[in-house]
Structure 1
Amino acid sequence: MTLHTRRSLLAIAAAGIGNLMLPKALIAIKAEDLPKPDLKLGLFSDINSSYGSTNYIPAVKEGIDLILSKKPDQVICAGDMIAAQKIGLSPAQLDAMWDSFYRQVLKPIRTAGQPFIFSLGNHDASSIKATSGYQFEADRAAAIRFWQPQKEKLGLSYIDSNGFPFYYTALVNNIFWLIWDASSAEISAQQQNWVREQLASPIARKAKLRIALGHLPLRGISRGRDQPGEVLNQANQLQQILENGDIHAYISGHQHAYYPARLGRLDLIQLGAAGSGPRQLLMSNQPPRQSITFLDIYWQQREIVESSYQFPGAKQINWDNLPNSLPSRNGPLMRRLSNRSSIF
């Protein structure tokens, strides 16, 4: 299929016709009907429970177990791994939460041998500024204490890790990963310049695929989260930076609802919460649900196939039951036509 044809189909969706005129090749397909991919990625986000908790709800273990059972080539987390962002939590409490995350989540992933790529969320190490420094300095210090010793144990080939664990780039299985600090709504001008430089580098340009990862999204998709402070500021500018750098997809969390969208030249893979507090999509009557997601990559076909599973029960989410569009306050957001996406 030509690029012109694909763009025409996108225009059809934007006109509200939906999937009625789609060729069979673009209708959503089930994961079990697919051939073995060249790469499989397992994705999750927002596993934290109540403030200070060192425990995770059963759905988190169920989701991680499903990811590991599929034997992915990479495991990706879009943030909120612990339950901080509360003034008064002691360093000992923060360290205990990270220790629990290691035992219950990170250790099983690394024991299975999968590289682990992550971004920090607002409940991990919020970058909200205070009069002097950061409002949650203790959270950010605890994140450094935990992640620096893990840095060389994650199975990643770093390109630039000077800002680790808050922002970094890595090359894994021919995918160039750009992780920025989207733990609050503000991506600083300094970090935006860093993103431009990283995406213009020869390593980024030669990679087969470029993906960005951060916690807060470019658009709000869930009830109670489509508002300032819950999405990235200067979203249009940030979108342009990613598009100019030939980023194929931006993976995010924070909205606690799953929605696969297309925004300009970007796939938006907005992950649902695997842990506490799932939310309803905007204008949707479907109940909230925990979920995890897989991306199957086919190099020869230049395609990515996306599938998500809800919990409890690990039932695959029906793509066609997701709303065709959402009325985000920053502009309408269209669901991608199919769970098959071309890597242009």
Structure 2
Amino acid sequence: MTRRLSTLFAAFIWTALIACKAAALDVIVISDLNGSYGSVKYAPRVDTAIERIIEIDPDLVISTGDMVAGQRIPNLSDKQVREMWNAFHEAVSDPLEAAGIPFAVTPGNHDASAYRGFERERKIYAEQWTPRKPDVDFLISDDYPFFYAFEMQGVTFASLD
């Protein structure tokens, strides 16, 4: 009886694994792509990584922050912060969008620090990301891009600033 039970258990596990693979969600997480303070250039490895991500064609790409290189006193000008974001979008956001890959972001301290003195950077962060809201099934998005949650293929994701 033990052998039969063992065979049934193995068949159950095999079936469960096949079912999980069929429902797999491919997610790539990127982080800390920023260069030195105020930089509007990205290392060649960033271009290579984005090209590879597009080849893989995941269901979702998540950035856990530090996309640009802000957060230092004296503060950068609005123009400098916007130039950093333009460079980021050119190197990362725009290619992912062109490939049809949803891109969910969470602010890092260099992107939109919540510390006093970086309110302008937070405002610019919101200006940059509000029109770039990913095409996902949002559960909560009233305070996007700082606090939000969405579901994809039965998996819930949350961004908590």
TM-score (structure 1 length as normaliser):
0.39
- CA distance in structure 2 between the partners assigned to 1:47 and 1:40 by the alignment: 21
Any residues of structure 2 matched to 1:227-306 within 5 Å, and which? none
In the alignment, which residue of structure 1 is the partner of 2:29?
43
Q: What is the CA distance between 1:173 and its match in structure 2?
A: 2.3
Q: What is the CA distance between 1:36 and its match in structure 2?
A: 7.4
1:178 maps to a residue whose letter is A
In the alignment, which residue of structure 2 is the partner of 1:63?
49
| 2:102 corresponds to 1:115 | yes
Contact 1:75 1:117 in 2 (8 A): yes
Secondary structure of the 1:162 match is strand
More helix by share: 2
In the alignment, which residue of structure 2 is the partner of 1:215?
none
Q: What is the CA distance between 1:180 and its match in structure 2?
A: 0.3
Q: What is the CA distance between 1:79 and its match in structure 2?
A: 0.6
List per-residue Cα deviations over 1:282-314 (Å, max 9, x = no partner): xxxxxxxxxxxxxxxxxxxxxxxxxxxxxxxxx
Q: Which runs of 5+ in 2 are unaligned?
A: 1-20
In the alignment, which residue of structure 2 is the partner of 1:146?
128
1:54 pairs with one of 32, 36, 40: 40
- CA distance in structure 2 between the partners assigned to 1:96 and 1:62 by the alignment: 22
Contact 2:40 2:83 in 1 (8 A): yes
2:76 maps to a residue whose letter is L
- CA distance in structure 2 between the partners assigned to 1:174 and 1:77 by the alignment: 20
Q: Which is greater in Rg?
A: 2
- CA distance in structure 2 between the partners assigned to 1:37 and 1:175 by the alignment: 11
Contact 1:116 1:156 in 2 (8 A): no
| 2:81 corresponds to 1:126 | no
TM-score (structure 2 length as normaliser):
0.81
Over the matched positions of the two proteins, sequence identity in percent amounts to: 37
| 2:156 corresponds to 1:169 | no
- CA distance in structure 1 between the partners assigned to 2:23 and 2:105 by the alignment: 22
List per-residue Cα deviations over 1:220-263 (Å, max 9, x = no partner): xxxxxxxxxxxxxxxxxxxxxxxxxxxxxxxxxxxxxxxxxxxx
1:49 maps to a residue whose letter is G
In the alignment, which residue of structure 2 is the partner of 1:81?
67
1:65 maps to a residue whose letter is E
Contact 2:46 2:91 in 1 (8 A): no
- CA distance in structure 1 between the partners assigned to 2:124 and 2:159 by the alignment: 19
Contact 1:77 1:119 in 2 (8 A): yes
- CA distance in structure 1 between the partners assigned to 2:29 and 2:156 by the alignment: 16
Contact 1:114 1:155 in 2 (8 A): no
- CA distance in structure 2 between the partners assigned to 1:36 and 1:163 by the alignment: 34
In the alignment, which residue of structure 2 is the partner of 1:137?
119
| 2:145 corresponds to 1:159 | no
List per-residue Cα deviations over 1:13-71 (Å, max 9, x = no partner): xxxxxxxxxxxxxxxxxxxxxx7772211111000001111110111111122211111
Contact 1:40 1:73 in 2 (8 A): yes
- CA distance in structure 1 between the partners assigned to 2:33 and 2:22 by the alignment: 29
- CA distance in structure 1 between the partners assigned to 2:51 and 2:70 by the alignment: 24
Contact 1:168 1:178 in 2 (8 A): yes
Secondary structure of the 2:29 match is strand
Contact 2:150 2:158 in 1 (8 A): yes
